Amino acid sequence: MSEKVRVQRNNRDVALELTQLYINKHVAVELENIEEAYSRFYALSCYLETVDNYTLKELISEEVLSPIER
């Protein structure tokens, strides 16, 4: 049987993946915007790593939480 391998990402991996999504969504992106987006995503991932689940839930709107909590 094959075992599932758990992949763990660090803050840089998360920031890079989010930046790539940002670039793919926007047609023309300047280098400065990419740098700023990466910095923001990196800071966000660092912050979210230190926050407990209750606080995270408070950051998400009811519109998003409603279907999940059913």
pLDDT, tens only, 3-40: 777 778 899 999 999 999 999 998 788 999 999 999 99
Residue 37 contacts residue 11 (beta carbons within 8 Å): no
Q: Name the pTM for this structure.
A: 0.70
How does DSSP assign 24-35, residue by residue? HHSSS--HHHHH
Comparing CA positions, the residue from 5, 9, 3 lying closest to residue 41 is 9
- The confidence score (pLDDT) of residue 66 equals 80
What burial class does residue 19 get, using C-beta atoms within 10 Å of its C-beta: 0-12 exposed, 13-18 middle, 19+ buried? buried
Phi/psi at 8 (nearest 5 deg)?
-110, 135
